[in-house]
Structures are given as C-alpha cells and as structure tokens.
Amino acid sequence: MLDQLEAVDARFQEVEAQLQDPAIVSDPKRLRELTRLRAELEPVVKAWSEQRTRLKQLEEAEQILADKSLETDLREMAELEIPDLKAAISEGEAELKRLLVPKDPKDARNVILEVRAGTGGEEAALFAAELFRMYVRFAERRGFRVSVLDQSEADMGGLKEVIAEIEGDGAYSVFRFESGVHRVQRVPKTETQGRIHTSAATVAVMPEAEEVDIQIHEKDLRIDTFCSGGKGGQSVNTTYSAVRLTHLPTNTVVQCQDERSQIKNMAKAMTVLRSRLLEKAQAEADAESSALRKSQVGSGDRSEKIRTYNFPQSRVTDHRINVTIHQLDAFMQGQIEPILEPLRAAYEAERLQQLEA
C-alpha cells in the first residue's frame, strides 16, 4: 500500500504542476480532465498526509515514554496519548484502503433515469410519479440538472413511464444504487374501506453512454417522426419534432419529444439508445461473473425487490442491506441520504473485500 500511496502523491504533484502551465489553462478539454483527476487524487493525498502526521506523533510519544530521564508528568501524558494515536492510525489505514479502491470510470457520468409503474394499476402510476419527484428533488439538492426526455401520464395524474437525463459530475455514482423494484404499502386514494394495498414501480439507472462505448450503424436503425403529445403548447403538438428510434438487431425502441427541435430530440434519443444498449451489454457480461451474481449491492437487477415504502408506519426499508428508517416524509422529499450512504459504504466494503481476496 505504501508504494500505491507514494505513486498517488507523485501523480498529484505532477497534476498540480501541469495545472499551472499556461498551455494547459488555454486548453478547456485538457484542463477539465486534469481538474477532475486532481479532485480524485486529492482525498487520498490529504488522508495520507494526515496519516503520516499521526505516525510521527506516535513515534515521538513512544520515544518520550521510553526516555527515563524525562519528567514523570511528560511521560504520563505520552502514555495516555499512545492508545488514541494507535486507534486513529488504525482508522486512517482503513480509510486509505477504501480510498485506494479503483473508481468505476462510469461513476463520473451523467445518468439516464427511467421510472415505470409496475403492478397496482393507477396506484402504481401515482407511486411512480412520487418516486420521480423524489429523485428530482434529490438531484436538485445535489446541484444536478434534470431534463425529462419522454413521459406517459396515467388517468389519475400518475405516470405510466418517465425517462429523464440527470446531468452533473458524479451523477451515476450517486444514483447507481436505485435500480430495481420499489414496493409501496399504503391505502390508495381509490380505496373506500381503508385497506392497505401493495403496489410497485421499477427504476432503471444507466450511465450515459458515449459514441465510443457503443457503435450504432445507420442500417440498424428505423427512424420515425411524429407530433409531440402532452403539455407543450400548440407548436409542440402540431410539429413533427418527436423522434422514435428502433434498433432493429435488438428491437430496442426509444422515443424523445422533450424538445421542439427534431434534431435535438434525435440527439437525445440516440443518447438514451446508446445507454440502453450499453446496459444490456454490461448485464450480459455481469451474468458471466459469479461474484457479481452473488453481489447484494449494486447488481442493478430490475427484477429484484430492493426497497419497501410503508406509509402507515412511515417506514422505508432497503432489503439489500437490511436498513430501515422511520423518516418516510423527508425521504419522499428527496432526503434519501440515510439509505444512500449505508448503500455506498456496503458497496465500497464489498469491492475492497474482492480486491483483497
């Protein structure tokens, strides 16, 4: 680990020097890459600096304790400090191991978020709409930008389906744990006898794919244009601006009608299509790995029931890590960190365990 830490420290100093180079500053793309790299390396460098300080303090305290010529009070103080320093060093070592776990290169990407009503009819559609609002509020609190690409509304104001792009540095690292089946238990508005019903919605979170990730050939596409529906004004509903793409080899269908420009809708639809094809390819690759099949966190399996929202008890339970909180109202307002942070910790611990195996 020492070699890794020294290598990271050396790389950080190199990046710092490059960021002072006028040629780099005048190159926006290179400047952005180096700034992101610096942000990734800095936590490791800072933690390693603090750990070196603690190690030096422990060495000095042990020297004072061993020096019989020093005053008794000074040696007693050193003796009291040593256990705390050893505990802090142990915690610091665990933190450094966690920080040295290789980052998933997809973590920095934007996200394609898809929320669909599952079993439960209109109640499932209402819950899907509430889930989506929860994610929008959470994204806005994190400084991310949310753009709805396509949506289909239900009769009672819910959502049959909504597809959105979430833009922001590290968006995928934050949303990656939300893929799966979300179950809700509550008394629906349509229930006259007060009985609790169980409904569900599915969530898919995909890292936004780039052209270099997935190559799509023109001959493999069928492109249809149509008038945009829903709220958008007269020009939206009368112009053939909406785009539907069908990827013939996989029969994957994507449509986008968010923009008034057909060209912009085409670009966004292609982004969603690439992301779906990338997810499909990744899922096929993951299925070949027994370690990933056994993984409880981050599998992204949409068929897996990952969370239950119990409204009568104001309870949210994440079944992957067996964590329950009784703050449902705040959770539905986008304050999902009490579940998100334990999920992230479990994921990182699992990755560290796999690397050490």
SS3 of 327, please? coil
Structure confidence at residue 101 (pLDDT): 77
Among the listed residues 98, 99, 162, the one whose alpha carbon sits nearest the alpha carbon of residue 135: 162
Structure confidence at residue 232 (pLDDT): 42
Q: How far apart (Å, rounded) are the C-alpha atoms in residues 324 and 307?
A: 10
| pLDDT tens sequence across 100-156 | 877 777 888 899 999 999 988 899 999 999 999 999 999 999 999 999 988 889 888
What CA–CA distances, in Å, run from 10 to 38, 43, 44, 142, 183?
12, 14, 12, 31, 48
Residues 144 and 167: beta-carbon distance below 8 Å = yes
Tell me how crowded residue 33 is: count the other CB atoms within 10 A of its CB. Answer: 13
Domain map (residue ranges) of the chain: 2-100, 107-212+293-356, 218-285
Structure confidence at residue 128 (pLDDT): 96
| pLDDT tens sequence across 273-314 | 888 888 888 777 666 544 433 443 443 344 568 999 999 999
Please tell me the CATH code under which domain 107-212+293-356 is placed. 3.30.70.1660
Q: What share of the chain is helix, strand, coil (3-state, %, to 5)?
A: 50, 20, 30
SS3 of 284, please? helix
Dihedral sign, Cα of residue 63, residue 66, residue 69, residue 74? positive
Residues 160 and 116: beta-carbon distance below 8 Å = yes
pLDDT band at residue 8 using 50, 70 and 90 as cut-offs: confident
Q: How far apart (Å, rounded) are the C-alpha atoms in residues 318 and 82?
A: 40
Give the global pTM.
0.70
Tokens linked to 181: 């089946």
Mean pLDDT over residues 335-342, rounded? 94
Residues contacting residue 79 through CB under 8 Å, at least 6 positions apart: 65
Q: Is the pLDDT of residue 248 over 80?
A: yes
Tokens linked to 95: 């933190």
Structure confidence at residue 235 (pLDDT): 43
Residues 245 and 223: beta-carbon distance below 8 Å = yes
Among the listed residues 266, 283, 146, the one whose alpha carbon sits nearest the alpha carbon of residue 216: 266
CATH architecture of the domain with range 218-285 = 2-Layer Sandwich (3.30)
Strand residue runs (E) in 74-154: 111-117, 145-153
Q: Do domains 107-212+293-356 and 218-285 have the same CATH topology?
A: no
